[in-house]
Amino acid sequence: MRIAVAQDGNMVSAHFGHCEGYAIFDVDGSIIYRRDDLPNPGHEPGRLPAFLAEHGVDLIIAGGMGPQAIALFRENSIEVLLGISGNVDYVAQDYIAGRLSPGESTCHHEDGGECDEAH
């Protein structure tokens, strides 16, 4: 399994598309055997789901993302887990240990605008 955690520094980013990059964790069973950092190639609608699919990602973890992005990730067979915060390494470990619970997305697109990054 390959997990991508949207990151700003060592913390989970509030919005996957505007993050600095992605911490990519390669997981076998309950063991993380590799971590790479992948820079964000830029936020363009529809680009990031295909980009992460090309890198073999099975799951994206972030604070939030809009509904169109969620749909595009699912079309690329990538699971989405939102409402997550904290240190990216701990978050990945908690996920594979079954201790990570999704929360509410920190991104709200009801008005058609950008995500509310203040949360």
Domains in the chain: ranges and CATH: 2-96 (3.30.420.130)
- Nearest CA among 1, 61, 58 for reference residue 31: 1
Question: Exposed/middle/buried for 12, CB within 10 Å: 0-12, 13-18, 19+?
Answer: buried
pLDDT at position 119, please? Answer: 29
Distances in Å between the Cα of 57 and the Cα atoms of 12, 42, 115 are 17, 17, 23
Quickly count: other Cβ atoms within 10 Å of residue 42's Cβ: 9
Token output for 84: 């997550």
pLDDT of residue 1: 96
Query: What pLDDT is recorded for position 108?
Result: 54
Using CA atoms, how far residue 115 sits from 1, 17, 63, 66, 94, in Å, is: 29, 10, 11, 7, 26
Residue 107, pLDDT score: 66
**What's the confidence (pLDDT) of residue 102?**
85
Give 10-residue mean pLDDT values along the chain (119 residues): 97 93 96 96 85 96 92 94 96 95 67 40
What is the structure's pLDDT at 103?
80
